Structure 1
């Protein structure tokens, strides 16, 4: 079988075509302190400056060895774009959303007419262009964004879960709004050079809200994003936190190409619960990748690969203190695997 570039290899895996071996990628956040020290681009500045963001993303490839580059490193830029209050991150911690801006239908209307050339949304797109100009012919350029359901929660606050159950009109209106934004943002990332899209929708879980609400408030909106990306020949990976085992078959009905599962999901069961989507994951980022030895990580990685996982990767975002050698142990197993 022919050998492929990393860009070709990942694209072929996500679109169900044969390849020479497993790609070594991470679809969730990649930044670590060791990478920051090696490349000179540190959080929190690397969350706000396109050059520094691109430099730290590049370190995932040049320092660690991932066969892709990916931005951004957090999931708060979208909420910040719409005026939510953000708690600043540190060199070791990501920023978080602490204030919300939508309570009524009128509030939703007031957020319309936004300009994607503003704020950190634009910084992420500029970073993608920097990376694409340098690596676009060889490496996958992953753009990532928070999904529409979790963005709705960021914008509305903890009232969101009650809202979808008691005020359907408001809930659907907010989902339409966030999804329209997601599609526009994703298209801008692709225009700047992204060739793979990752949706991080941590609270959009059938386990959390039940299948009925998931079908109504999540599936149609994920499908709109997938359809828009597939029109541009861009594959989509979806990550939802928690034990998504029972919801996997429902999750893939949106047409997503890959589903990233976390450490609470049994890898073999996940593979058996989908028909078409590639299962990605699912090494524990804390108890395994951060706190175990490279030898233990290789052993667990092999178990996950043997379970039939499509892409070996962390089960959630990489912990900032994760040692480089631990990530490289996972990468070694991935690169050695022939499908």
Structure 2
């Protein structure tokens, strides 16, 4: 545990340095990738010990000097740690994989985050985009837009990487649906 934390501390310092360089160059936002911080790989307790303090330090240190949005990418099963992710002071949470790929129910995520961080994602890249029909994609996207738009702070996108061999027409349909139904009024 001591060696792990020493390594994490060094990585944190390097990440802070890199994030400040990016912020100084006036990037639009900074993404912290914690792809392995989901429940599929580490427990909630290990998240508290090995992720939370380091992500919080990165965000706090960068935002002391720069007024820049910082959001966090974590794949898979993160429904049990959304409350902890808020403790890092992140401005947003990226992917929010829905079941069966992950554990994030959009309605519950909106309630847990309570407008304190934006949500980006929640479209299942396999079961919806890769394997879905026009009708199932339309139904899923419209439902997520309607739930996500309530009280704002929602960016609809693929929950994680778009699967190889996803039909182009399914991506185009997603875009068309967002253009039609996804605008805030």
TM-score (norm 1): 0.47
CA change 1:333–1:229 in 2 (3 A) is: farther
Residues 1:322 and 2:161 are matched in the alignment: no
Matched positions, count = 172
Which residue is equivalent to 1:242? Answer: 76
Secondary structure of the corresponding residue to residue 317 of structure 1:
coil
Which residue is equivalent to 2:112? Answer: 273
Equivalent residues of 1:258, 1:280 under 8 A apart = yes
Which residue is equivalent to 1:303? Answer: 143
Structure whose alpha-carbon radius of gyration is higher: 1
Residues 1:288 and 2:128 are matched in the alignment: yes
Offset at residue 307 of structure 1 (A): 2.2
**Aligned alpha-carbon RMSD (Å):** 2.1
Runs of 4+ in 1 over 4 A off after TM superposition: none
5+ residue gaps, structure 2, are none
CA change 1:225–1:325 in 2 (3 A) is: farther
Offset at residue 322 of structure 1 (A): 2.7
5+ residue gaps, structure 1, are 1-167
Offset at residue 207 of structure 1 (A): 6.1
Q: Distance in 2 between matches of 1:209 and 1:292?
A: 30
1:128-147 superposed matches below 5 A:
none
Where relative contact order (Cα < 8 A, 6+ residues apart) is larger, the structure is 1
Q: Of the candidates 204, 207, 219, which is equivalent to residue 37 of structure 2?
A: 204
1:27-82, Cα deviation, whole Å (9 max, x unpaired) = xxxxxxxxxxxxxxxxxxxxxxxxxxxxxxxxxxxxxxxxxxxxxxxxxxxxxxxx
1:154-202, Cα deviation, whole Å (9 max, x unpaired) = xxxxxxxxxxxxxx21111011011112122223333444211222212
